[in-house]
Amino acid sequence: MSDPLNERDRAADALEMVAGAARAYLDSLATRPVHDHAADGLLDLLDGELSERGEGTLDSVERLLRVGTGAATHSSGPRFFHFIVGGSTPAAQAGDWVTSLLDQASGLWLTSPLASRAETVVLRWLKDLFGLPASYGGVLTPSATFANLTGLACARQWWGERHGADVTADGLAGLPRMPVLAGGYIHPSSRKALQLLGCGRDSVRVLTRDDAGRADVAAMDRALAEIGGPAVIVANAGEVNSGDFDPIGELAELAERHGAWLHVDGAFGLFAAASPRLSHLVAGVERAHSVTADGHKWLNVPYESGFAFVRDPALLGRAFGAWGAPYLPAADDEHINYNCLGPESSRRARALPIWATLRAYGRQGYREMVERHHDLALRLGAAVEEAPDLELLAPVRLCVVCFRYRPPGVPEERLDELNRWIGERLVADGRVYAGTTTYRGMTALRPAIVNWRTTETDIDLLLQVIREIAAETLTRHR
């Protein structure tokens, strides 16, 4: 067996094997547990010594399918409410298979005009969907973390140029620390981006007006006046614990008044722009200098997918281009080479599933999905408010519902332990997934609804399972 050349006639057979397993697996997602812990024993089938001559294409693919369809966490199904994870629409999933089939190197026009043109098209479509100016530059990234890295790298380059320095070429040595201001909603991915950029993970000056983390705009105004020079404001469109939003319009006013850079992390919340009912939540985002979001959240395309948009397109090239390698295209190449506009060099053609899903469902399809999920969140929030043993901890703004179990007669000091136990039992139970967080000092559940498959049945089951586990938990803790 050994050399894959000996099995070149098995390539299509292997793909047919996967396609044959797909229908039964996808059909099962509506009712199967998110995770069947009894199937974890299958994971041992992945282990063992590396074979000397190999076990062959079909045998290996068959085993991977057997283990994967049994032991995977079925986050592509409708009942995964943990973190903020979408599924894959039918068009996006098929588009991703096409991506693997064609296996394009998408960083350069020379290596794949197909991938480059598709990326240009989907970036234009996404700007249209989000109401961003067509003049903004953009690039696809593996995630919102990489998208934040991209936007903040452009901010760092802009800031350095205000100090007469080219930080891409010469680094930060000799420069003061770049001032970064944010409210309490700033996400760890923005901090990680600042860490990777050499600006410091903990360099962010967080200014809040309450223990929920709402941005103190007046304090930011004063801080920017004290700085008296270029600075960066990080705004969040969609906070992970409650789904709340920073006042983007007010922060845009501050940025314009003080000559600051406004970066908007819209990992999932930017999708509010797709709905006339909800677009007020991101009012002012079109005035930001950089805007980011995740595709594998509410766009419902496969991992890994993110995107970054920058008001001044030339900054992308100054922050990431000019590789200076003779075998690569020059900076003035007539075609767009996306590996000069973002942090990656080797890039998958991740535009293809995005192209497929946007073309398949259009602006109306995404508007309807976002609004349907918002309605489901409101349904869950209303059920929580009506229940005597549940407590809604934050208003339902978009798709996240933050609440806790609070039965009568249980003292406050025991509620955190009780809710932590419920969260652990939810994951162990496996029928639905919803984890815990800490919100305003309280342990809380915070299911997020962003999967295209999720319906009222799934929301009602979530509440049912929580009640069952809560009753068992209360009995155990008495």
Q: Could you tell me which of 384, 380, 370 has the C-alpha nearest to residue 459? A: 380
d(CA 432, CA 384): 17
For residues 469-478, average pLDDT: 76
Phi, psi of 346 (to 5 degrees): -80, 120
pLDDT of residue 2: 76
332 confidence band (pLDDT: 50, 70, 90): low
Q: What is the tens place of the pLDDT at every residue in 235-292? A: 999 999 999 999 999 999 999 999 999 999 999 999 999 999 999 999 999 999 999 9
More reliable by pLDDT, 42 or 325: 42
Residue 241 in contact with residue 211, Cβ under 8 Å? no
pLDDT of residue 477: 58
Query: CA quadruple 373, 376, 380, 385: dihedral positive or negative?
Result: positive
pLDDT of residue 326: 63
According to DSSP, the residues that pair with 265 across neighbouring strands are 236, 292
Q: Does the pLDDT value for residue 324 go beyond 80?
A: no
Q: Could you tell me which of 207, 212, 162 has the C-alpha nearest to residue 180? A: 207
386 confidence band (pLDDT: 50, 70, 90): very high
pLDDT of residue 393: 98
For residues 318-324, average pLDDT: 82
CATH fit for domain 95-358, picks 3.30.465.10, 3.40.640.10, 3.30.70.600, 1.10.357.10: 3.40.640.10
Least confident of 239-248, 327-336, 436-445: 327-336
pLDDT of residue 475: 74
Token pair recorded at residue 35: 């995770």
321 confidence band (pLDDT: 50, 70, 90): confident
pLDDT of residue 423: 95
**Pairing of the two strands 204-206 and 137-141:** unpaired
d(CA 447, CA 363): 26
Cβ-Cβ contacts under 8 Å for 313 (sequence gap 6 or more)? 135, 136, 137
pLDDT of residue 334: 75
357 confidence band (pLDDT: 50, 70, 90): very high
pLDDT of residue 307: 97
Token pair recorded at residue 335: 């075609």
Across the chain, what does the average pLDDT equal?
Answer: 95
Q: What is the tens place of the pLDDT at every residue in 97-109? A: 999 999 999 999 9
Q: What is the tens place of the pLDDT at every residue in 31-68? A: 999 999 999 999 999 999 999 999 999 999 999 999 99
d(CA 405, CA 403): 7
Q: What is the tens place of the pLDDT at every residue in 411-427? A: 999 999 999 999 999 99
At residue 46, what is the residue type?
L
For residues 112-135, average pLDDT: 97
Structural domain spans, the chain: 12-78, 95-358
Q: What is the tens place of the pLDDT at every residue in 11-23? A: 999 999 999 999 9
Q: Where are the beta strands (DSSP E) in 54-142?
A: 137-141
**Pairing of the two strands 290-294 and 261-265:** parallel
347 confidence band (pLDDT: 50, 70, 90): very high
Residue 184 in contact with residue 214, Cβ under 8 Å? yes
386: left (phi over 0), alpha (psi -120 to 50) or beta: alpha
Helices (H), 180-261: 188-196, 217-227, 248-258
pLDDT of residue 454: 98
pTM: 0.96
Q: Where are the beta strands (DSSP E) in 101-225?
A: 137-141, 180-182, 204-206
d(CA 203, CA 177): 8
Percent of the chain with pLDDT over 70: 97
Query: For residue 137, how many other CB atoms are within 10 A of its CB?
Result: 20
pLDDT of residue 471: 87
